[in-house]
Amino acid sequence: MLLLMVGLLSLLQAPWVYAGDEERKLEAVFIGRFASYIDWPDKDRERERFVITLLDDNPFGKLLDDLYRDKRIHNKPIELRYANKLEQVGETDVLFITLRNAAARLAATEFAHKNGILTISEAKGFAESGGIIQLDFVEQKTRIKINHAAAVKSGLKIGAPLLSIATVLRGDKP
């Protein structure tokens, strides 16, 4: 009976990112790796944990929890939070946005600017409309677009190694 229960649980339990879902794995990795190249100069932000918040749908299943369980960013352990609405986003260092509506994304980026939060999304036009890092997948390769002005506006400094591999928007032009 125990075997049966284990089997049924394995059949119905939410996984997941399956083995070949490279996009999802790379997105999960990039969230933390990007953060490691960002400098948050605001000393008032000192928190014991480095906080990453997902806003709206969670496409990663348990992958982020599994990946970041034993990781540290800026020498801090990582706390993952999941929010369905902007109002649920509290203090956070990184906001990964999966909102589908442009207006909702804009509200989230404005919130992030005011609170010195790194915003990341794969929504088209995200960087141009005030988001800081946009992930694109073009012909099965990852591309990074960074709105440097938005980062400055949020009080963030982006390290040169990250800028060197990205398309950098200064103002609203690439």
Partner 1 sequence: MKHFCCALLPLAIGTAFAADKTIQETNDYYSRPLDQLLQIETQAKAAVGSRGGERDALDAEVPIDIITSAQLQSTGQTELIRALAVLVPGFNAPRPSIADGTDHAPPFTLRGLNPDQVLVLINGKRLHQSSLLHNNGTVGRGSSGVDLNTISLRAIERVEVLRDGAAAQYGSDAIAGIINIILKGYGQSSQATVSYGRTRAGDGINKQVSVFHTLPLAGDGFVNLTAEWRDRGPSNRAGPDAYDGGRRNTHFGDADTQDGLFVLNAELPRGDTTLYAHGLYDKRRSSAGAFYRRADDERNLSTIYPNGFLPLIEPKILDFSMTGGARGILDSGTRWDVSYTHGHNDYHFYVNDSLNTSLGSATPTSFDSGATRYTQQILNLDLSRKIGRHTLSGGYEFRQEHYRIDKGDAASYMLGAENNYAYGAQGFPGFSPENEVSAKRQAHSLYGDLKYSVSDRLMLDSAARAEHYSDFGSALNGKLALRYRATEDLLFRTSASTGFRAPSLSQSHFSSTGTYRNSNDAAAQFWGNYAVDHPVARALGATDLKPEKSRHFTLGLVYQPAAQLTASADVFVTDIEDRIMPTGYIAGYSLSSLSSQAAAVLAQNNIDGAVYFTNAIGTRTRGFDLRLDYKHDLGNGAKLKFVGAYQRSKTNINTINQAPAVLGVNMTDLILDPFTKVMMEGGQPIDAIKLWSKYSTRDYDVVVNLNRFGKFSSVQAYDKVTFSARWTVDGELAYRVAKDVTLALGGVNLFNVKPEKWGNTDDSLVGLGKVIQYSQYAPFGYNGSYYYLRLAVDF
CB nearer partner 1, residue 10 or residue 75: 10
CB of 156 to partner 1, least distance (A): 17
The two tokens of residue 66 are 């599994």
| Interface pick for partner 1 out of 48, 138, 160, 171 (rule CB under 8 A) | 138
Q: Which stretch binds partner 1 (CB under 8 A): 43-51, 88-96, 97-105, 109-117?
A: 97-105
| Interface pick for partner 1 out of 74, 114, 124, 170 (rule CB under 8 A) | 124
CA distances from 78 to 13, 35, 98, 129, 168 (A): 25, 11, 20, 28, 27
What distance lies between CA 35 and its chain's CA centroid?
9
59 contributes a contact to partner 1 by CB under 8 A: no
What is d(CA 3, CA 12) in angstroms, rounded to the nearest whole number? 14
Strand residues in 18-121 grouped as ranges (E) = 38-39, 50-55, 72-73, 76-83, 94-97, 118-121
CB nearer partner 1, residue 79 or residue 136: 136
Which has the closest alpha carbon to 121: 141, 103, 105? 105
Which residues contact partner 1 by CB under 8 A?
Answer: 1, 3-4, 6-23, 25-26, 28-30, 32-33, 61, 63, 66-67, 71, 100-103, 124-125, 128-129, 136-144, 161-162, 165, 172, 174
